[in-house]
Amino acid sequence: MSLFEPESAPEEAPDISRPLAERMRPRTLDEYIGQEHVLGPGKPLRLAIERDEIPSMILWGPPGVGKTSLARLIARLTKCTFVPFSAVTSGIKEVKGILTDAEQNRRYGRRTVLFVDEIHRFNKSQQDAFLPYVEKGDVVLIGATTENPSFEVIPALLSRSRVYTLRALAPPQVAALLRRALTDGERGLGGCEVAMTDDQLEQIAIHSNGDARMAYTALDLLASSAVDGAVTQQVLEDVLQRRMQLYDKSGEEHFNLISALHKSVRSSDADAALYWLARMLEAGEDRMYLARRLVRMAIEDIGLADPRAVEQAIAAQQTVHFLGIPEGDQALAQLTLYLAIAPKSDAAYAALNRAREVARTKLAEPVPMNLRNAPTALMKDMGYGEGYEHAHQRQSAMTAMECLPPSLAGTRFYEPGDRGMEKKIGERLEEIRQWKERTRASANERSDR
């Protein structure tokens, strides 16, 4: 597209050969459904569009929520030359050519809106190419992405842009779009005279998972499968089949779902934990990844409150490895329920963190002589092993020998909780600690005499 074409191109007649989702893109802000939190009356973005004062922006949201439609609306409603561009199909070389033309265009008093779809596909160095042109105002950059811009867009570009988060459409909003498509005789399916019930439209809306493009595609297919203008329930079920989950194993939703699973287990919410597990299973998550995360939960969040949790976790991991899909999924479900219901303690986890902090920040003292082995005569003469007390040579199988370096003597890293098995472990540990204190005190009294 040339940057020097007329600002307002004549309206094209609808092309019925194009996909329904493409034909039904909104032409006005009032036709645009959803995203009221940024486009509702009086909202800053809507006011900016209405006043033709568009800032550079990043539109972040899941597929099919209207990112591209919003960018095209801006092109229709503002007095800017609009240049659409996809990071999937073109490279940075083409971008630089467009940016150079935009710089020249600005000298003639005309602004350029550069819409970059899938902007996260550009790497960090490629995104740097936009900076001088955005900074000088040669272009208004509108980037669209399904990935978290905090991780995928360079900070310098983020600081020069507004980030607008677009939300997945609610089922009633998707259903409203479908009703419009059914009755629109110019761009939609109004001329096909296809009748569908509100319940059927709701099923499509739920199936689409907030993705309007997916909903339009299903509706188009259903309309072509209608018999005498009616869509039977069997045809509806055949077309919808299995709902595709919004999920990217390397993207943010992957981490959102595993976080929800972990925190539900930690909160002892068995039903929620099972739901989030089911979401990940249905999305095709790697079963061994789930097993590893559940083993981590057993160690980190249950610990010694139920020492069998780790045993159950490793057994489940082995079961998943042995049985595979789908039988191994039941082992993951059983383990998830076990961990959610088990008593919780992070005392061992916190104890290790405290010990590691001391190991990192304190002087690395030498190992006390009494704890060193003396495999040679020279080492024995140097005092290695001197003062060592062998616990198994005592009736109690305990000694009062200090095993920490002198500067850390008496330090307590592990403080057991009072839930589950750890309560008994804590009672036993306290008995040991008190016995050592009494024994040491008695030995000190004898040495003072």
Tokens of residue 264, six digits: 């539900």
pLDDT per residue as tens digits for the range 27-80: 988 899 999 999 998 998 999 988 888 899 999 988 899 999 999 888 888 877
Nearest to 391 by CA among 403, 379, 382: 403
173-177, 201-205, 239-243, 389-393: which range is least confident on average? 239-243
Tokens of residue 191, six digits: 């001329």
| Cα atoms found within 13 Å of the Cα of residue 222, Cβ hemisphere only | 31
Nearest to 82 by CA among 158, 137, 9, 160: 9
Q: What is the pLDDT of residue 111?
A: 80
CB 21 within 8 A of CB 66: no
Cα–Cα distance between 403 and 152 in angstroms, integer? 49
| pTM: predicted TM-score of the whole model, two decimal places | 0.63
The answer to whether residue 7 scores a pLDDT higher than 50 is: no
Q: How far apart are the first and last CA of the chain?
A: 100
Cα–Cα distance between 7 and 80 in angstroms, integer? 7
pLDDT per residue as tens digits for the range 254-287: 888 999 999 999 999 999 999 999 999 988 888 9
Question: Distances from the Cα of 360 to the Cαs of 87, 184, 333, 356, 415, in angstroms?
Answer: 45, 69, 39, 6, 20
Domains along the chain with CATH numbers: 20-165 (3.40.50.300), 171-240 (1.10.8.60), 252-341 (1.20.272.10)
223-232, 234-243, 362-371: which range is least confident on average? 234-243
* 110 contacts: CB under 8 Å, gap ≥ 6: 3, 7, 80, 81
Cα–Cα distance between 31 and 20 in angstroms, integer? 16
Q: What is the mean pLDDT of the chain?
A: 86
SS (H, E, C) 225-236: CCECCECCHHHH
The answer to whether residue 3 scores a pLDDT higher than 80 is: no
pLDDT per residue as tens digits for the range 333-342: 999 999 999 9
CA angle 219, 221, 222 (to 5 degrees): 65
SS (H, E, C) 87-132: CCCCCHHHHHHHHHHHHHHHHCCCCEEEEEECHHHCCHHHHHHHHH
Cα–Cα distance between 9 and 79 in angstroms, integer? 12
CA angle 183, 237, 273 (to 5 degrees): 110
Beta bridge partner(s), residue 141? 114
The answer to whether residue 443 scores a pLDDT higher than 80 is: no
* 262 contacts: CB under 8 Å, gap ≥ 6: 293, 297, 301
